[in-house]
Amino acid sequence: MKRFYFFLGWIFFLTGAVLAQDKIVKLKIVETSDIHGNYYPYDFILRHEAAGSLARVYEFVQKERETYKDNLLLLDNGDILQGQPCAYYYNYIDTISLHLAAEVLNYMKYNAGNMGNHDVETGRAVFDRWAGDCNFPILGANIIDTVTGKTHFKPYEVLERDGVKIVVLGMITPAIPVWLSENLWKGLRFDDMEETARKWMKIIREKENPDLVIGIFHAGQDALLMGGKYRENASLEVARNVPGFDIVLMGHDHTRELKKIKNVEGDSVLIMDPASKGGVVANADVTLKLRKGKVVEKHISGVLTEMKNYTANKDFMARFAPQFSDVRDFVSKKIGSFTETISTRPAYFGSSAFIDLIHMLQLEITNAEISLAAPLSYDTEISKGDVFVSDMFNLYKYENMLYTMKLSGKEIKDALEMSYDLWTNQMKSPDDHLLLLREKRREGATDRASFKNFSFNFDSAAGIIYTVDVTKPKGEKVTITSMADGTPFSLDKMYKVALNSYRGNGGGELLTKGSGISQDELKDRILFSTDKDLRYYLMQYIEKKGVIEPHALGQWKFIPEEWVEPAAKRDYEYLFGKVEK
């Protein structure tokens, strides 16, 4: 009996000794993505209070740090340098001060950042300056210097917390050349995400032997091939096909996502996407059990945490009050006046004053014969009366250059055919929708939630007279009757066409897939490019004119009108709630 009790006691001792060696480490991973200049809880464009913002995120993070201390890892997933005027101001106006985006992220103690396509859009002078101002690494494993063959940014960051080694690998969608002028990213190339992930995962495993691997990818989950060679939105493909990731943090598509998937080896990967503008953060909890310094158990879960329940952090607002004041003064400058209120809402149903103003400005600035343009903001307006710098971010949302390109009449028609196919339903009866709409709205994507396709690809034209028959199938909707001055339009003739650099580089694929121009040939079609963004020239134009009289040109319309008019009223109400008088 004594032996039995001695043996039993020895077992308890050994068990206790083993358990005493176990160590539990808890980590909190917080991701922001697609902030688009929303550092403050204030909309400098509409000039009123706004939801979301990094100021609210900081309040949330500080509360979480009370529990997690340094075990909270804060990561940003790109598209932080474009959107609100406070980003534009420190990109192009005040280029001497530390970039506000860097100062804010430093203050909030981010551990790593990632590049987004709209960060590249600001140009190398801007994004390299911003990255240099950050006190933490900006990642970009698939952004390659074409001279050295090495990554332009750090490919991954190693973080150690309580004996746990965490590796964060950052990548961007490689489709940058489809959207942005080469002068903005000259000397760089953007490699395929999956190939890059395989390369670096091998290096990470052999060199770092990590306990936790996080992928932070500025790409969504609905993969597609763009420009015939760029795999866009490949985050899920990487998570599935490249074993080793525990968490994949997505961005770019402005759509909330939270789920777990199995990779090819059967391991679970947590997928998260916090949409945009700091309205939500991706919030992951990681619990690891270590025995003799090695991870023996790993539990990972996540939630999307709403920031509307958090007030803007007072210390944050006080620290960045001077910059807030500078930006507010900038956007409050009057540049002219409009005789009429213009809105993007009518632009979906026919010729409209909003889009036709852009057409007229593009044609006048370039002396082109034809203009192509789309509503870049889903739902916005500029009121009649005094017009301010802030209104220009409503008139033109992105920092696109203005191109003049040579396109044949057939290429113009084919581009419009694809545009209206993305834009309109094929009506089979008067009761059908005029517009091509989603059955369900995309949560967290309120800027384009109702359309099946992105409204910034809904190009209309000016300089030609044409109709769009919505009863016709794809490729047969558009009939061009003449040039705007009544002279003949020819499918065989080459025309000078004004359009933005996004479209001219192949964005939306209207010129590649629609017109049949190869991605490589697009460069040769560019006759002229502005050296500054189109918004800059629009501001100059309006300031010079003083008074602008916006009006619809009436150069195109949907037919048959007896079907279109009642359908347009129904769809307007579906999109916007009520029909304007």
Continuous segment of H or E residues that includes residue 20: helix 2-21
- Asked if residue 174 and residue 161 are part of one domain, the reply reads yes
Confidence of residue 211 (pLDDT cuts 50, 70, 90): very high
Looking at the domain assignment, is residue 257 inside a domain? yes
Based on the fold, state whether residues 268 and 324 are members of the same structural domain: yes
**243 inside domain:** yes
- Closest to 30 measured CA to CA, from 134, 153, 164, 168: 168
Task: Indicate whether 411 and 298 sit together in one domain.
Answer: no
The CATH code of the domain that includes 458 is: 3.90.780.10
pLDDT confidence of residue 294: 93
Domain for residue 7, yes or no? no
**Dihedral sign, Cα of residue 488, residue 494, residue 496, residue 501:** positive
Answer yes or no: is 14 within a domain: no
One domain, residues 434 and 498: yes
Residue 84's pLDDT is what?
A: 97
3-state helix, strand, coil in the chain (%, to 5): 35, 30, 35
Residue of 222, 300, 293 lying closest to 267 (CA atoms): 300
- pLDDT given for residue 532 in this prediction: 86
pLDDT at 13: 44
Q: How confident is the model at residue 21 (pLDDT cuts 50, 70, 90)?
A: confident
Contacts of 473 (CB under 8 A, 6+ apart): 426
pLDDT, residue 14, reads 41
Is the CA virtual torsion 459, 461, 467, 472 positive or negative?
negative
Is 236 in contact with 260 (CB distance < 8 Å)?
A: no
The distance between the two most distant Cα atoms of the chain, rounded to a whole number of Å, is: 113
Alpha-carbon gap, residue 539 to 542, rounded angstroms: 5
Measured CA to CA, the distance from residue 510 to residue 512 in angstroms comes to 6
* C-alpha to C-alpha distances, 435 to 255, 439, 470, 558, 578, nearest whole angstrom: 22, 12, 9, 11, 16
Q: Is the domain of 301 the same as that of 439? A: no
Q: How confident is the model at residue 399 (pLDDT cuts 50, 70, 90)?
A: confident
In sequence order, the β-bridge partners of residue 407 are 495
The mean per-residue pLDDT over the stretch 390-395 comes to 93
Question: What pLDDT digit, counting tens, does each position of 230-246 carry?
Answer: 999 999 999 999 999 99
16 inside domain: no
Q: Which residues of 534-551 are buried (b: 16+ CB within 10 A; e: fewer)?
A: bbbbbbebbeeeeebebe
* pLDDT surpassing 70 at residue 444: no
Residue 448 has pLDDT above 70, yes or no: no
Angle separating helix axes 534-545 and 353-366, nearest 10 degrees: 90
Same-domain status, 266 and 357: no
Report CA-CA distances (Å) from 344 to 354, 524, 555. Answer: 6, 33, 17
Q: How many domains does the chain have?
A: 2
- Pairing mode of beta strands 334-338, 280-291: unpaired
Q: Name the residue range of residue 490's domain.
A: 333-576
pLDDT above 80 (res 456): yes
Domain ends where: 328, 343, 368?
328
Q: Would you state the pLDDT for residue 466?
A: 98
Based on the domain organization, do 287 and 359 belong to the same domain? no
In a domain, 9, yes or no: no
Reported as a single tens digit per residue, the pLDDT across 2-20 is: 554 545 454 444 444 444 5
| Dist CA 443 CA 492 (whole Å) | 45
What CATH number did the domain enclosing 142 receive? 3.60.21.10
What confidence score (pLDDT) does residue 18 get? 46
Average pLDDT rounded to a whole number, residues 161-179: 96
Same domain, 186 and 279: yes
Residue 15: predicted pLDDT: 45
pLDDT over 60 (residue 439): yes
Instruction: Label residue 227 by pLDDT band (50, 70, 90).
Output: confident
**263 and 368 inside one domain:** no
- Looking at the fold, whether 320 and 343 belong to one and the same domain comes out as no
- Regarding whether 474 and 432 lie in a shared domain, the answer is yes
Chain centre to alpha carbon of residue 310:
24
First vs last C-alpha separation in the chain: 97
Query: For 127-156, what is each residue's pLDDT tens digit?
Result: 999 999 999 999 999 999 999 999 999 999
- Please state, in angstroms and rounded to a whole number, the distance separating the CA atoms of residues 109 and 197: 27
**Last residue within a domain, chosen from 302, 328, 354:** 328
CB 153 within 8 A of CB 124: no
- Is 12 among the domain residues? no
pLDDT of residue 16: 47
The SS3 assignment for 479 reads strand
What is the spatial distance between Cα 137 and Cα 499, in angstroms, rounded to a whole number? 36
528-580 confidence digits (pLDDT tens): 999 888 899 889 999 999 999 999 999 999 999 999 999 999 999 988 887 55
Q: Which band of pLDDT confidence, cut at 50, 70 and 90, is reported for residue 124? A: very high
Pair 57, 108: CB distance under 8 Å: yes
Q: Looking at the structure, do residues 280 and 386 belong to the same domain, yes or no? A: no
Over the stretch 310-344, which tens digit does the pLDDT of each residue have? Answer: 999 999 999 999 999 999 999 999 999 999 999 99
Q: Give the dihedral of Cα atoms 49, 55, 57, 63; nearest 10 deg.
A: -120
Which residue, of 311, 328, 345, is where some domain finishes? 328
Of 560, 564, 347, 565, give the one whose Cα is nearest residue 459. 347
40 confidence band (pLDDT: 50, 70, 90): very high
Categorize the per-residue pLDDT at 493 as very low, low, confident or very high, splitting at 50, 70 and 90: very high
pLDDT of residue 20: 52
Can you give the length of the chain in residues? 581
Residue partners of 316: CB distance under 8 A and separation at least 6: 54, 55, 58, 59, 104, 107, 108
Average pLDDT of the chain, as a whole number: 93
Judged by average pLDDT, the poorest of 76-80, 111-115, 495-499, 532-536 is 532-536
Residue type, 556: W
Inside any domain, residue 66: yes
